Amino acid sequence: MALKITDECINCDVCEPACPNQAITMGPEIYVIDPARCTECVGHFDEPQCVSICPVDCIPKDEQRVESHDELMDKYRRLTAKASG
């Protein structure tokens, strides 16, 4: 499933450059995660990089966007195919 950033976000700027899929951008008030680009770092890393470096623990799984590991891997493949082609 995709991740989301909650309103506990302090805009520390560490998550955006850590995302290998460029899924994190600055929203109107806090950073936001594009669920179409978020693979929870499947295909890149063993754990979501944004979650591992977030100093306030404000990036939970988005229960509204349930995806299996295989679905996340398929999304990773589509994203990387677009990037290389």
Name the pTM for this structure: 0.91
- The verdict on domain 15-80 having CATH code 3.30.1120.10 is no
Average pLDDT for residues 6-27, to the nearest whole number? 97
Report pLDDT for 85: 63
Residue pLDDT, tens place only, 49-61: 999 999 999 999 9
- Is residue 1 very low, low, confident or very high in pLDDT (cuts 50, 70, 90)? confident
Query: Is a pLDDT exceeding 90 seen at residue 14?
Result: yes
Residue pLDDT, tens place only, 22-32: 999 999 999 99
Backbone torsions φ then ψ of 33, nearest 5 degrees: -115, 130
Indicate the domain borders of the chain.
15-80
Question: CA-CA-CA-CA torsion for 80, 51, 4, 31, nearest 10 degrees?
Answer: -90
